[in-house]
């Protein structure tokens, strides 16, 4: 295989990877904790796009509980988004684990 062919394949891979990353920005995952009192939506780029907090859970005397619920919901949604991104990238890489792609 000559260098021109390798460069062409690398460019095609880069284009496909850009398309997957753009698609991930439109895909969303959600997480809800505290019986639905805190819910979040994260996109495939690990960006928090929505946060809902039921006003009944807001207790000025116990801010730590609300903080814990928000962190739990966000962390769970981020984990789901990473898994989704890994699945989409594995389609592109044919299952090869290439560091830095997700």
pLDDT category at 95 given cuts 50, 70, 90 is: low
CB 76 within 8 A of CB 33: yes
Q: What is the mean pLDDT of the chain?
A: 88
Indicate if the pLDDT at residue 92 is higher than 80: no
Instruction: For residue 6, count other CB atoms closer than 10 A to its CB.
Output: 10
Indicate if the pLDDT at residue 13 is higher than 90: no
pLDDT category at 31 given cuts 50, 70, 90 is: very high
pLDDT of residue 82: 92
Domains contained in the chain, CATH given? 25-93 (3.30.1310.10)
Give pTM, 2 decimals. Answer: 0.74
Indicate if the pLDDT at residue 93 is higher than 80: no
Which residues, in sequence order, are CB contacts of 73 under 8 Å at separation 6+?
31, 32, 33, 38, 39, 40
Q: Of 71, 75, 101, 77, which is closest to residue 88 (Cα–Cα)?
A: 101
């Amino acid at each position: 295989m000559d260098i021109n062919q390798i460069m062409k394949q690398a460019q095609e891979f880069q284009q496909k990877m850009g398309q997957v990353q753009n698609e991930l920005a439109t895909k969303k995952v959600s997480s809800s904790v505290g019986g639905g009192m805190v819910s979040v939506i994260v996109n495939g780029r690990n960006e928090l796009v929505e946060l809902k907090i039921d006003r009944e859970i807001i207790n000025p005397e116990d801010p730590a509980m609300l903080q814990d619920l928000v962190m739990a919901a966000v962390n769970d949604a981020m984990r789901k988004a990473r898994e989704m991104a890994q699945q989409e990238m594995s389609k592109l890489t044919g299952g090869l684990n290439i560091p830095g792609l997700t």
